[in-house]
Chain A
């Protein structure tokens, strides 16, 4: 095949795919049939039930970060910066990214599996025959729940991550409790926190969108559901890292 034609075809496919996902997202955000009960269910499943995994991830990340910064900082007598760098690193970068990735692993997979199973067992067709828009019933509550819940998870993860650093700082690195916390607080700006929470909302949207998109397009049978689940997690994870780069560039350059 002519290479120019191949590139053109691939580009068209890409643009078509991005357009289709954008339309899907727009419909998902505003589909009719919103029900507060469905949103509350999804807030519980996406937010509350993800707390343990996000909390543990943040705790160990904050603790490891404190050890790393201390080890690196001592090379040029800058061990004192551990609290500030742990706090800034957690709220700006590691809290949202690792929180987003953990939610992607846990939630994108479960959404894709659930909706994919509904697709292959004709439950989504049944919704249509019962005059219910599958977008409003399935996608809208998951999308909004993720957009609302993930920033909260990120905020909680930030605090737990800083506490992880504090634990290491006060038990291993010789900081006093008061000194560590006041040092963390002193260098932290509100935009550091807010930018991380905005990232969290964006990553939440990505996670739910990937789960719903691949679930709604699941092929026939168990293999189709399995493929949808894998694709959702991979796509969400890559998209989170790419979006993080773009948002970091937008926020801090």
Chain B
């Protein structure tokens, strides 16, 4: 782990409800530059809502979000997004664009077309996909290939912050392992700050420097991944060991 210095992302007392359900109930979280934080928690724990709130895709009911030390106003968030990449749970590739245009999407506004395509092919190679995939449409790809393409898109512009939303959901164990290895490799190579949400403990052990567990709308435990297995918190223990819910 190489995470030191000012937090890249800070969440203070974040609350969010849907109807009567309180999904986030005062979440405090800090992500420092260069670390790989993995947020774990059961289904419906609010992991995705937390991530979406940080990105401005959900409007929180209360609390504060700071990006680079500044309150997340639309302008601050726009600046943050310029150096940001995200791997969505179901890849979220643009159906109407071929693979290379998906990967080069952000680059098309700043680079000539040929250069953007060359960069897309390079990023595809980095996630283990050959140039023969470049002109195919997303609908022609398997689930694992779609995740890889989405990963290539997330890293295309060398972002300093990357979010991974359930990166291994729906993949077989071998493909999941290769995605985990790719993510860890990218984080190590680029020094990017990474936030991953998952309930896959293999992913946690492969990707995380630090782990935070979300339950009942709050972060109930945070610590280094090495400390996770020896932690006393019964909810964390139950989750890590996969004990059936009472």
Chain A residues close to B by CB (< 8 Å): 117-118, 121-123, 125-126, 128-132
Contacts of B240 in A (CB 8 A): none
Check B85–A129 contact: CB distance below 8 A: yes
With A123-B94, A126-B88, A131-B81 already in contact, 5 other A-B pairs whose C-beta atoms are closer than 8 Å: A123-B95, A125-B52, A129-B81, A130-B106, A131-B78
CB neighbours (8 Å) of A118 from chain B are 94-95
| Bound form: Cα–Cα A118–B105 in Å | 16
Task: Please determine whether B55 and A129 come into contact, CB atoms closer than 8 angstroms.
Answer: yes
Contacts of A125 in B (CB 8 A): 52, 55, 57, 88, 92
Give Cα distance in the complex from A216 to B93, angstroms.
17
Distance (whole angstroms) from the CB of A218 to the closest CB of chain B? 15
Residues of A within 8 A of B23 (CB): none
Residues of B within 8 A of A128 (CB): 55-57, 81
Q: List 9 A-B contacts (CB under 8 A).
A: A117-B95, A118-B94, A123-B92, A123-B95, A125-B88, A126-B94, A128-B55, A129-B81, A131-B81
Residues of A near B94 (CB, < 8 A) are 118, 123, 126
- Residues on the A chain within 8 Å of B106, using CB: 130-131
**Majority DSSP secondary structure for residues of A touching B:** helix
User: How many cross-chain pairs have Cβ atoms below 8 Å apart between A and B?
Assistant: 43
Per the bound structure, the CA–CA distance linking A128 and B58 in Å amounts to: 12
A130 to B153, CA, bound (A): 9
In the bound complex, CA of A131 to CA of B56 (Å): 12
- The reply on B53 being an interface residue by CB < 8 A is no
Cα A123 to Cα B45 in complex, Å, equals 23
User: How many Å lie between the Cα of A130 and that of B97 in the bound state?
Assistant: 15
Would B82 and A122 count as touching, CB distance under 8 A? no
Chain B nearest CB from A109 CB (Å) reads: 17
Q: Could you tell me the distance between the alpha carbons of A121 and B93 in the complex, rounded to whole angstroms?
A: 9
Q: How far is the CA of A161 from the CA of B93 in the complex (A)?
A: 43
Task: Enumerate chain B interface residues (CB-CB to A < 8 A).
Answer: 52, 55-57, 78, 81-82, 84-86, 88-90, 92-95, 105-106, 153, 163
When distances are taken between beta carbons in the complex, the residues of chain A under 8 Å from B93 are 123, 126
Q: A128-B56, A131-B106 are in contact. Are A122 and B88 (CB under 8 A)?
A: yes
Contacts of B57 in A (CB 8 A): 125, 128
Tell me, in angstroms, the Cα distance from A125 to B53 when the chains sit together: 12
B-side contacts of A126, CB under 8 Å: 86, 88, 92-94
Picked from B56, B85, B92, B105, the residue with its CB within 8 Å of the CB of A122 is B92
Q: How far is the CB of B54 from chain A (nearest CB, A)?
A: 11
Contacts of A123 in B (CB 8 A): 92-95
Residue of A nearest to B89 (CB): A122
In-complex Cβ contact of A121 among B52, B56, B78, B92 (8 A):
B92
Question: When chains A and B are docked, how far (Å) is the Cα of A236 from the Cα of B153?
Answer: 36
- Residue of A whose beta carbon sits closest to that of B85: A129
Least CB distance, A36 to chain B, in whole angstroms = 14
Q: CA A131 – CA B106 in complex, angstroms?
A: 8
| Complex: A118 Cα to B81 Cα, angstroms | 20
CB neighbours of A117 from chain B (8 A) = 95
A146 to B13, CA, bound (A): 46
A residues near B153, Cβ cutoff 8 Å: 130
Query: Most chain-B CB neighbours within 10 Å: which of A126, A128, A129?
Result: A129
Return the chain A residue nearest B108 by Cβ: A35
CB contacts (< 8 Å) of B85 on chain A: these are 129
Residues of B within 8 A of A122 (CB): 88-90, 92
Docked pose: A131 CA to B77 CA in angstroms: 10
Closest CB of chain A to B230's CB: distance in Å? 36
Q: Which residue of B lies closest to A125 (CB)?
A: B57
Query: Which residue on chain A has the smallest CB distance to residue B106?
Result: A130
Give bound CA distance, A131 to B105, whole Å. 10
Cβ distance A144 to chain B, nearest Cβ, rounded Å: 18
B81: chain A residues within 8 A (beta carbon)? 128-131
Q: How far is the CA of A121 from the CA of B89 in the complex (A)?
A: 10
Nearest 5 pairs of A and B residues by beta carbon: A122-B92, A126-B92, A129-B86, A131-B81, A122-B88
Chain B residue numbers with a CB within 8 Å of A131 are 78, 81-82, 106
Chain A residue with Cβ nearest B80: A131
CA distance A121 to B88 in the complex (A): 9
Q: What's the minimum C-beta distance from A133 to chain B, rounded to whole angstroms? A: 10
Output the nearest chain A residue to B81 by Cβ-Cβ distance: A131
Query: Nearest-CB distance from B97 to chain A (Å)?
Result: 10
> Which B residues are CB-close (under 8 A) to A130?
81, 105-106, 153
**In the assembly, what is the distance between CA of A118 and CA of B52, in Å?**
17
